[in-house]
Amino acid sequence: MARRIARCSALIALLLAAGHGSAANFALPAGDANVVGHVLSVRLDGTRNTLLDVARHYDLGYDEIVAANPGVSIWLPGAGSRIVVPTEFVLPPKPWVGIVINVAQRRLFYFPAQRRSVVTFPIGIAQAGWPTPLGRTRIIAKFRDPSWIVPEDIRAQHLRAGETKFPRYFPPGPENPMGMLAMETGFPEIFIHGTDRPWGVGMRVSYGCLHLYPEDAAYLFERLRVGTPVRIMDQPVSVGEREGRLYLSAATPLGEHSPARDYLTRAVRAVIRFQGLGTASARAVDWDRVIRAAEARRIAPAPISPRRSLAVASAPLPATNYDFAPYGVDANGARVPATR
């Protein structure tokens, strides 16, 4: 039985005006297609930006940007560095309704009720030993400026880690681990909320809650209605199709719900199962590519169709200059950063 997770109490305040995030917003694909977005490439103009600055600008998490750029320094990538920006995503299984969260993929997908579109955000997920419940629930409440009464078992863990002055209570404000906006799910004590440590988005950092960049929490909070359905899943292997080509998204299994054993077998079965759905049944597969994608576990969709059908997709990506100012130390808090 899962242990009790992150007890969070909230106070309402009227002082915070929710801003707009830099959400990745896409039209829903037609027919059997389930891949959105495109991989980009940028070249850093100077030495000020870190790999995580680029990730946050393009609404990617830590694991996504690091996996897509093996060998690149996280903190000092260097002027002129070419950075792969993996803003291409395999959508979760249908139905595409409300909020769907794939914890293994470290992604939240929001399907607005009145539009054929999807908005997707990176999320910080649960640490080992504090699993997020899987299944279906709803958003039952929304809070501005939440406070946090720290549960004793969570505080005990911080004390064991040497944080002898870890508080019992965090008041509302930019230093609150709950962030400044929180959406409560029907699962006991599980919230979708902002964070005072945005550089942890995409990592295993929470006690069961789902962490968003502050700007993404603001975007979602402004649009999400109480009663919105929420589905939480753990699917480390996802198969996608676009324009007759197949793709494999492979994430590292978390362990609590989907152990790492037989991972390659699971990937092969996922491809075969997907081939049996809709028009994908006629698509050829390069099984060597399936094996390489499964072993790499880079999250971003990798092509698994034969090379002869991917001549365009395999061409080098043109790199555009990235000359945005870094977020800076002031952005490592729960406040929404200034528009960039």
- Between CA 300 and CA 303 the distance in angstroms is 10
- Between CA 36 and CA 91 the distance in angstroms is 7
Nearest to 67 by CA among 237, 316, 251: 251
The residue with greater pLDDT, 3 or 151, is: 151
- Which pair of structure tokens corresponds to residue 198? 């945005």
Question: Is the model's pLDDT at 2 over the cut of 80?
Answer: no
Question: Is the model's pLDDT at 313 over the cut of 50?
Answer: no
Q: Which residue among 8, 209, 211, 257 is the active-site one? A: 209
Nearest to 227 by CA among 149, 305, 304, 138: 138
pLDDT in the model for residue 255: 76
- Between CA 155 and CA 170 the distance in angstroms is 12
Q: pLDDT tens digits for 215-255?
A: 999 999 999 999 999 999 999 999 999 988 999 999 988 87
Nearest to 10 by CA among 139, 138, 148: 148
Q: Which stretch of 15-24, 151-160, 295-304 has the lowest confidence by average pLDDT?
A: 15-24
Told to judge if 193 belongs to the known catalytic residues of this protein, a careful annotator would answer: yes
Q: Are the CB atoms for 308 and 175 separated by under 8 Å?
A: no
Q: How confident is the model at residue 337 (pLDDT cuts 50, 70, 90)?
A: confident
Told to judge if 8 belongs to the known catalytic residues of this protein, a careful annotator would answer: no
Average pLDDT over residues 130-155: 91
Question: Is the model's pLDDT at 336 over the cut of 60?
Answer: yes
Nearest to 12 by CA among 125, 180, 131, 140: 180
The residue ranges of every structural domain in the chain are 122-232, 237-309
Strands 320-322 and 40-44: parallel
Q: Which residue among 38, 57, 158, 193 is the active-site one? A: 193
- Which pair of structure tokens corresponds to residue 87? 């803003």
Q: How confident is the model at residue 259 (pLDDT cuts 50, 70, 90)?
A: low
Predicted model pTM: 0.88
- Between CA 280 and CA 34 the distance in angstroms is 11
Q: Are the CB atoms for 178 and 217 separated by under 8 Å?
A: no
Nearest to 250 by CA among 275, 267, 265: 267
Q: pLDDT tens digits for 268-309?
A: 999 988 887 655 545 789 999 999 999 999 899 999 998 754
Architecture of domain 122-232: Beta Barrel (2.40)
